[in-house]
Amino acid sequence: MTPLQPGDALLIVDMQNDFVANGALAVPGGQEVIPVLRQYLGLFAEHGLPVIATRDWHPPDHCSFHTQGGPWPPHCVAHTPGAQFPEDLRLPLSTVVISKGTDPVREAYSGFQGTPLHDRLRTAHIVRLFIGGLATDYCVLETVRDARTLGYEVCLLVDAIRPVNVLPDDGRRAEEAMVQAGAIPLCLERLAA
């Protein structure tokens, strides 16, 4: 594992109030990820490396909502408190925020789907992404898959993700799928060493 270097970026997936404790679609253990991500944020700041944060930014009638026949309760509706990043995450002011799921008739689990993320990364000459956030078995999984398809090296921050686990093994299976796609599992101790 090569140490942090130019061309690296931290990509935080959907760390939003609705996905953590007491949120509309709270991920079990989602809150536990925040202090770990803060440590990663500190490391990337020390190295002067960029941070990108994706967010669900849904219209009130988004197709993924129960009210529209979708699988999820309404969550992360644009401009609502549930769509905001938790204050204790303490994202730096320089964070590039990528909004996804903005089209009412399209689901978008991946941070690359229907967003300028790939273009922003290419413009910044990013080649390796360190990815953590929520949830392992949905938005993290699809973002990692797309990143690998687009040719990025991916380090999966296994201590900074948590699954929904609609089915009991969904999170484990998602991690295996990401590793099979070429993501390198990594935890803070290894990166900070």
Q: How far is CA 161 from CA 31, 92, 105, 149, in A?
A: 10, 20, 27, 21
Catalytic residue chosen out of the listed positions 8, 56, 100, 159: 100
The yes-or-no answer on residue 14 being catalytic is yes
The number of helix segments (H) and strand segments (E) in the chain equals: 5, 6
CB 190 within 8 A of CB 161: no
The yes-or-no answer on residue 100 being catalytic is yes
CB 35 within 8 A of CB 157: no
Catalytic residue chosen out of the listed positions 14, 137, 146, 159: 14
CB 34 within 8 A of CB 86: yes
Tokens of 124: 């910044």
Strand residues in the chain grouped as ranges (E): 8-13, 51-56, 96-100, 128-134, 153-162, 184-186
Catalytic residue chosen out of the listed positions 139, 146, 155, 159: 139
Question: Is 120 exposed, middle or buried (CB count within 10 Å of its CB: 0-12, 13-18, 19+)?
Answer: middle
Question: Among all residues, which ones are annotated catalytic?
Answer: 14, 100, 139
